[in-house]
Amino acid sequence: MVLDIFEIFGEFSYFGIFLILIGINASPILMPPSWIVLTSFYLLDPTLNIVLLAIVGATGATIGRFFLKRISGLFRKFVGEEQKSNLDIIGSYLNKKKYGYLIASFLFGATPLPSNILFITYGLMRAKSVGIYAGFWIGRTISYVVMIYFGNTVLTPFLEMFEDRLTGILLIDGIGIALIILFACVNWTVLLTQRKIKFVKPKIWRF
């Protein structure tokens, strides 16, 4: 099944890869890491240019995350008032920093940190900044070049760690959801002004 998907999209070369990366990154959960998909495409067709493949992948991933952020924003009305105010505080803090969003997005894009957490949070914050996408694109391009270049060296041990791929994906998504809740429950006013960690009531959703 998975191999068939790779073959179908692989026939469209870079454009097919671009489309599948948009789809993967627009989904909040139950999707494999993008670098695994790109590395797999390269291993199936080593004639692909690594740098171009990374750029295409980063562009598709950034567009996908844009859609994820917009979709996540629709769920802001279900967030409790205390958490909503809390998220606005961290949003205001990042807005005051010239490169706040750029640096945050770059760090998530250039490292193995699950970026779906970041963009869901951005959506709930209703964050607006070109730096969100610029930082993520740059970080993703760099990380994809490294991951694709080392190919089997990186991919094989990762897949062996999770022989049941669904279990691995569910575990990663579970950690991601837990981190989103933790992020929303931190009292950012106290943390940013007093440099102390304090949590607000873990009432995230209201119906």
pLDDT of residue 35: 83
The residue among 90 and 5 whose pLDDT is bigger is 90
What mean pLDDT is reported for the chain? Answer: 78
pTM, 2 dp: 0.77
- What average pLDDT score do residues 52-78 get? 92
The residue among 36 and 167 whose pLDDT is bigger is 36
Q: Tens digit of pLDDT for each residue in 138-191?
A: 999 999 999 888 876 666 655 554 455 556 566 666 766 676 677 667 676 666
pLDDT of residue 44: 80
pLDDT of residue 106: 94
Residue among 41, 36, 33, 39 nearest 17 (CA): 41
pLDDT of 30 above 80: no
pLDDT of residue 94: 81
pLDDT of residue 183: 67
pLDDT of 50 above 90: yes
For residue 28, the one-letter residue type is: P
